[in-house]
Amino acid sequence: MSGTTCPDDGAVDAVLTTPQEWRGFLERYGERYVKNCADGDELVDLLDEDQLDLLDREGRVDVWLGETPAREEALVASEERLGVRFPPSLRGFFLASDGWTPLDAWVDGVHPCGHVSWMRDGDAGSRVTAVYDSLPDNEEYVRLFRRSVEIARGEDFWLLDPTDVGPDGEWAAYDFAPKYGSLTEYPSFSALFQSEYEDLA
């Protein structure tokens, strides 16, 4: 895939695998998102009046943008439905927060574990796959789409490839922008999410 890029190796922190590690990271993510990225309309939806007042006074606002943790039984049911066992960083994430919003202008949020699906089976994913399949020189993209799990979507997609597994059990992760045909590869779901956090700065 000639359009695939990789982030700088030095920009990736340690892989987050436990619910405790994810909880701490997601709290920092929420704080940074509220401080740097959300516009006024979004803040009204995310924060209560006391939090908005504190933010106006340039105080520190603790906000949880995630969901309640997934139960192990729900996680296992999702894995059985897909016929895979999720990589450690994705499992740890779901056990800390069963989904996440918001991310950025192009990705609406990480799906709850029960909504994770094969890209080829989703309405948007199957349409994108069909479009790329109809164009020349896209065979590698199409093969990736057909074997990948879609974990987040908006205008862009977050994908995990269960056929590309690292020594730590992590699956290769991708941020794919169909509009531009750009595909950025990461060594894990954790690295992809941490890159999103760095972009908020």
Q: Please determine, for residue 26, whether its predicted confidence score (pLDDT) is greater than 90.
A: yes
Q: 103, 196 in Cβ contact below 8 A?
A: yes
Residue 51 clears pLDDT 50, i.e. is over it? yes
Q: Output the average pLDDT for the chain.
A: 86
Q: Is the preceding omega at residue 178 within 30 degrees of 0, hence cis?
A: no
Q: What pLDDT, on the 0 to 100 scale, is given for residue 106?
A: 85
Per-residue model confidence as pLDDT tens digits over 84-102: 999 999 999 999 999 998 7
pLDDT value of residue 58: 60
Q: Which domains does the chain have, with CATH numbers?
A: 15-199 (3.40.1580.10)
Burial class (CB in 10 A: 0-12, 13-18, 19+), 114: middle
- Give the C-alpha separation, 104 to 77, whole Å: 29
The predicted model scores a pTM of: 0.84
The rounded distance, in Å, linking the Cα atoms of 124 and 120 is 9
In terms of Cβ atoms closer than 10 Å to its own Cβ (0-12, 13-18, 19+), residue 92 is buried
pLDDT tens digit sequence for 137-191: 999 999 999 999 999 988 899 999 999 999 999 999 999 999 888 999 999 999 9
